[in-house]
Amino acid sequence: SSLLLMSGVVVTVGLCRRLARRRLRSRPHLFAFLVEMFSTFQICACTNELSLLGNVEPKPHTALTLTYGFTVLHGLTLAGSTCNPCGALQPMWGGGTSLSMGGLKIAAQFVAAVLARVFMHFIWSLEMAEPHFGALSQGCSSPMQTTEVQAFCIELLFSVVFQLAVLRAESVNPKYRVHLIALLITMLVYAGGNLTGAIFNPALAFSLHADCFYDRFLSYSLVYWIAPSLGKFLILYVF
């Protein structure tokens, strides 16, 4: 049921992106906002569902296999979208896009994060699959299982590694690049998923753990917003 749900989200987002391309090419700002929102919605919704499958046996093989598979799927179906506020900073830094367009994309990503969370909570309330039972009663299911300083350093390091890999992989054939990035993300999730969740995406972090941001805004904003952004700025500065 979870796989069907996530597949349905991917198909629906694909149709919405295609419709936006056909109808809104003459309105670039609205087009950019909607495409980025649809794409980020897909990643946030699917990752919310994947977060419920972490305890499916055999552990952690099932969760890691699904992470790799859906990361490849996202890479193939969401070409041209960053789906990460940190990724939107690069063209703004290099002058490839205006400040208003970059801000618009970041706004779209956080809107999508909220919409994905609301949508998935509605789906979970229907309790159509076993993993959905009791999912809404967990509240702040904290991914931070270490000290704040260590969590900050982990998310910073993972962001640097990920953003550096993305930059270095730009010259790789796209059909191979998507697998390389998916493999890297899966490795990072395996290495640090039990400590911080290995998210390194501010919009995704907010969609997954909004309750934790409400309860401990300062610590969570430092770890899941500031650390990935700082990692991106370090890479941009070095390069």
What region, left, alpha or beta, does residue 198 occupy, with left being phi > 0 and alpha being psi -120 to 50 degrees?
left
Domain stop point among 132, 167, 187: 132
What are the distances in angstroms from CA 217 to CA 6, 111, 140, 188, 206? 29, 18, 12, 24, 11
Where do we find the tokens 């597949």?
Answer: 7
Per-residue pLDDT reduced to its tens digit, 135-164: 787 667 778 989 999 999 999 999 999 989
Each residue's pLDDT tens digit, 197-234: 999 999 999 999 998 888 889 999 999 999 999 998 88
Same structural domain, 19 and 54: yes
In a domain, 142, yes or no: no
**Domain ranges, residue 202:** 148-238
Q: Within 10 Å of residue 170's Cβ, how many Cβ atoms?
A: 8
Counting the structural domains of the chain, the total is 2
In a domain, 231, yes or no: yes
Q: Are residues 83 and 28 in the same domain?
A: yes
Q: Is residue 84 part of a domain?
A: yes
Give the separation between CA 224 and CA 154, rounded to whole angstroms.
Answer: 10
Residues 165 and 208 both lie in one domain: yes
pTM: 0.93
- The radius of gyration of the chain's CA atoms, rounded to the nearest angstrom, is 17
Claim to verify: residue 16 and residue 111 sit in the same structural domain: yes
